[in-house]
Homo-oligomer: A and B are copies of this chain.
Amino acid sequence: MTLNELQQQLSSQKIDACIITRHNQFLGQDILPSENRIHQLSGFSGSAGTLLVFKDKAYLFTDGRYEIQAARETNPEQIEVVITNGQSLGTWMQNNLRENKLKIGYNPWCHSVSETDFWKRALKNIEFVELPELLADSLLDKKEVDIFEHDITFAGVSMDEKISLLTEFMKKNQLGGFLLTSCDSVSWLLNLRSNCLPDTPILRAFAFVNALGEVSLFTNDFNQLEHELKNYKNQNIGLDCKHAPRALFSLMKKYKIWIENLPDPIQAWKAVKNPIEISNLKQAHLRDGVSLVRLLIWLEQNYAGKTELDVVQKIHELRQENTNFYSESFDTIAGFGANGAVVHYHPQTETNLELKDGSLLLLDSGAQYYDGTTDVTRTIAIGAPTPEMIRDYTLVLKSHIALATACFPEGTSGLALDAIARAPLWKCGKNYNHGTGHGVGFFLNVHEGPNSISSRNSQTPLAENMITSIEPGYYKENHYGIRIENMARVISCNNPEFELPMLGFETLTLVPLDKQLIDKYLLTREEQDWLNCYHQQVFEQLSPLLNPQEQNWLRQACAPLD
């Protein structure tokens, strides 16, 4: 369907406007390119966008990082680009459509119950109408999907054990069942994965679990789901209204089910990794570290004439030799020079830069191993770095260390930790325009909630055995980008001198930092100690897996600051 065709439909259906999102019914989950209705309708290919289409005009909402790209990819005569940093569509409508009496259509499969409730409360002048048929045909790609079991030796806990956690939860909350709508919850609960999405081995499905622990799975036949729900008339059924599509809520209402709006408990359970997952994840990081070390050696010896895409290809080749490798965990970011300063850059043939002496390469990549998901960023000097690059890199390192060495009481929010990471950069009048850390799934989404470390929406307190990235950065527009990202586990600080129980971080990523970029005189003694200690660990853990030449290289790379 084209934008014009959609606009004609609005006229024929007597609707003033309609809302189109990038989501299908699996809200918040990655989509396939063929499912991207924002791209199809507007030409915009960025990963964040919503359209509000009027008969004679359309608004494309996206965030600041896509400002230039959205302008380039859309037709300004048809579409006005609106940059909404953090502001929701609902709030925008509240501020901009206050005076109008409007009838606005939306697809109830593509919006959560909470979001649509907010609209209805906040925008009394607008009549919102459900239009599931409008674009329903293209919600899900019909390709064949392989579903496979995630072995217990990887997952650590059996499906049965996980289901009994859920039945206990239902018993406590007097529920006759729970309708799970988050793909990662379903995948985790059933120890199932699929090849549906390229870098995310998630199973895209809803699951209904009743009080007996019987599970029904719905991957695309939603008539089947309706059929199932009919059996639960007048029963209390759990639904996480923040993450469940409106259409499911309406179905449940239709069959007179009592909806108990409760946070999906699996989101919190899967965020806390079990001992086998943690021990697996450490193994995965050994292999991932070896691949990165080999890449760093290759780069040092061969960078002349190579491009960003060569680096992307090389790290892929190195990783895919590893035991338990399944896929990358996201499209590798290899940004050289000015490209490194574009926060969500992925090299394309048209933008691909050749590596040349005197700038920085920002390399952000990761893998899905059956025994864990990795995500690591290193910034590497190509040729001799300038003093400014060294100063800026050292500042980002100070930010990284500030958080990596932080202790904090239970209950501390990600927002508080975010400030601890930023404080050293703030003191020098600098900042970075992205979050400081995100949860990481276990052979699931590389970005997963509920925990995050950010100045926005980081209410969930960190708890022991949660996994987070720590990734402060600094971006000098048109020049270079710096980011230092490790994955870390939340641990309890076992310091006998502590009066209060405190949490801290254990770094999982094992890849040396480029010492050429570090000015030790800008580091405190404690910061130097952290770096030397980290490097010693990297060397001790990786060297048994390397050949003698590689060992020699790593010994140098990990030698203490002199």
Q: List residues of A whose CB falls within 8 A of some B CB.
A: 402, 405-409, 412-413, 415-420, 423, 426-431, 455, 493, 495, 497-500, 502, 524
Are B426 and A408 in contact, with the CB atoms below 8 A?
A: yes
By beta carbon, the residue of chain B nearest A503 is: B426
CA distance A541 to B408 in the complex (A): 38
Most buried by B among A416, A455, A497: A416
CA distance A415 to B402 in the complex (A): 18
Q: Known A-B contacts: A419-B420, A430-B500. Give 17 more (CB < 8 A).
A: A406-B426, A407-B429, A408-B419, A408-B423, A409-B431, A413-B455, A415-B415, A416-B419, A416-B455, A417-B419, A419-B419, A426-B502, A428-B497, A429-B497, A429-B498, A429-B500, A524-B524
Are B524 and A431 in contact, with the CB atoms below 8 A?
A: no
CB distance from A470 to the nearest CB of B (A): 15
CB distance from A248 to the nearest CB of B (A): 23
CA distance A405 to B413 in the complex (A): 23
CB distance from A362 to the nearest CB of B (A): 19
Q: Count copies of this chain in the complex.
A: 2
The interface residues of chain B lying within 8 Å CB-to-CB of A412 are 419, 455
Are A502 and B416 in contact, with the CB atoms below 8 A?
A: no
Are B493 and A429 in contact, with the CB atoms below 8 A?
A: yes
7 interchain residue pairs of minimum CB distance: A429-B498, A416-B419, A407-B426, A419-B419, A407-B427, A420-B423, A408-B426
By beta carbon, the residue of chain B nearest A416 is: B419
By beta carbon, the residue of chain B nearest A419 is: B416
Are B495 and A429 in contact, with the CB atoms below 8 A?
A: yes
By beta carbon, the residue of chain B nearest A411 is: B455
Are B430 and A499 in contact, with the CB atoms below 8 A?
A: yes
The interface residues of chain B lying within 8 Å CB-to-CB of A407 are 426-427, 429
The interface residues of chain B lying within 8 Å CB-to-CB of A500 are 429-431
CB distance from A313 to the nearest CB of B (A): 35
CA distance A170 to B290 in the complex (A): 65
Q: Pick the residue among B408, B416, B428 that contacts A416 (CB under 8 A).
A: B416
CA distance A46 to B495 in the complex (A): 36
CA distance A334 to B423 in the complex (A): 34
CA distance A61 to B498 in the complex (A): 31
CA distance A171 to B405 in the complex (A): 52
CB distance from A100 to the nearest CB of B (A): 16
By beta carbon, the residue of chain B nearest A502 is: B429
Q: Pick the residue among B416, B428, B497 that contacts A418 (CB under 8 A).
A: B416
CA distance A383 to B423 in the complex (A): 38
CA distance A402 to B424 in the complex (A): 11
The interface residues of chain B lying within 8 Å CB-to-CB of A426 are 406-409, 502
The interface residues of chain B lying within 8 Å CB-to-CB of A428 are 497-498
CA distance A415 to B412 in the complex (A): 10
CB distance from A461 to the nearest CB of B (A): 11
CB distance from A522 to the nearest CB of B (A): 12
By beta carbon, the residue of chain B nearest A493 is: B429
CB distance from A130 to the nearest CB of B (A): 25
Are B429 and A406 in contact, with the CB atoms below 8 A?
A: no
The interface residues of chain B lying within 8 Å CB-to-CB of A409 are 426, 431
Are B420 and A405 in contact, with the CB atoms below 8 A?
A: no
The interface residues of chain B lying within 8 Å CB-to-CB of A427 are 405-407
Sample (10) of A-B pairs whose CB atoms are under 8 Å apart: A407-B427, A408-B423, A415-B415, A416-B416, A426-B502, A428-B497, A429-B495, A429-B502, A430-B498, A431-B500
CA distance A431 to B411 in the complex (A): 13
The interface residues of chain B lying within 8 Å CB-to-CB of A415 are 413, 415-416, 419
By beta carbon, the residue of chain B nearest A408 is: B426
CB distance from A489 to the nearest CB of B (A): 18
By beta carbon, the residue of chain B nearest A403 is: B423
The interface residues of chain B lying within 8 Å CB-to-CB of A408 are 419, 423, 426
CA distance A419 to B416 in the complex (A): 5
The interface residues of chain B lying within 8 Å CB-to-CB of A502 are 426, 429
The interface residues of chain B lying within 8 Å CB-to-CB of A418 are 416
CA distance A455 to B524 in the complex (A): 28
CB distance from A528 to the nearest CB of B (A): 13
The interface residues of chain B lying within 8 Å CB-to-CB of A423 are 402, 406, 408, 420, 423
